[in-house]
Amino acid sequence: MVKPEVVFTTKLPGVHIRWCGLNGFCSLAVVFHSPPLVQPALKMNTVLSRANSLFAFSLSVMAALTFGCFVTTAFKDRRVPVNIHVSKVMLKNVDDFTGPRERSDLGFITFDVSADLEPIFDWNVKQLFLYLSAEYATKSNSLNQVVLWDRILLRGDSTKLNLRDMKSKYFFFDDGNGLRANKNITLTLSWNVVPNAGILPLVAGSGHISLPFPDQYETTRSY
C-alpha cells in the first residue's frame, strides 16, 4: 500500500514539513535543506592596486615628457659669437712651491669678454658653466690647457656678458719656462651646458684670440 505523503512548505527558507499517514498512523517530519554556500565576490580593484596603477602611469608619462624634452634640444647648435680682447700681459719668473722646479713662469692677463648667451637658453637648459682657458704648446708638452676664469650663469640671470678689465681668477702657472717668448697663447671662452634632461655638452665659443707673451720678465711687484 502506498503511503500517502503531504509536503508543506514554510516561509522559512530551506525548511519543509512532511506528513505521512498509513493505517491510521501519522508521522510528522521537519526537513531542513541548507542553501548552497555562495562565495563572496572578490574585490579585484583595491585601493593599493589602483594606487599602483596610477603610480606606474604617472612614471610612464614623466619618462615620455623627459625624453621629449631631451630629443627636442639634443641637436641644437649652442655656439654663439664671442669677442675677447686682451689689454695687458705680464710675465714673471717666481718660486713655484707646488712642483718640483725651483722657479716657474707665471703669467698675468687683463682681458675683456663680450657675448650674448640668450640663444643658448631654452626649456631644457638649467645653467651654464662658463670658463676662459689658455692653450699653448711648449717643447715638453704639445698641448697645455689652463683655466684662467670661470662663472656659473643660472637660468634667469642676465645673458648679456660684458666684462671689462678682468684679471685672471686663477694663477697662470707653467710647469717650467714655457710662457717666455711664446708667440701663440690662445684664449677661448667655452661653456658646459647643464640641462634638465640629457647629456652635458661642452661647447667652445665662436671666437678666440691668440697673443704673444713677452721675452723679458717683469720685476715689479704690482699687477
Pair 88, 67 in one domain: no
Residue 101 CA to residue 82 CA, distance in Å, equals: 36
Pair 15, 118 in one domain: no
Pair 115, 58 in one domain: no
Q: What's the confidence (pLDDT) of residue 192?
A: 94
- Tell me the pLDDT tens digit for each residue of 181-202: 999 999 999 999 999 888 888 9
Residue 59 CA to residue 69 CA, distance in Å, equals: 15
Pair 59, 168 in one domain: no
Rg over CA atoms, the chain:
44
Which amino acid is it at 170? Y
The mean pLDDT of 131-142, rounded to a whole number, is 92
Pair 114, 173 in one domain: yes
Query: Domain range for residue 201?
Result: 82-211
Question: Residue 188 domain-assigned?
Answer: yes
- Tell me the pLDDT tens digit for each residue of 66-125: 888 888 888 888 999 999 999 999 999 888 777 666 788 999 999 999 999 999 999 899
The set of residues, in sequence order, having a beta carbon less than 8 Å from that of 36 and lying 6+ positions away, is none
CB atoms near residue 109 (< 10 Å): 23
Question: Residue 108 domain-assigned?
Answer: yes
End-to-end CA distance of the chain: 138
Question: Residue 60 domain-assigned?
Answer: yes
Pair 185, 93 in one domain: yes
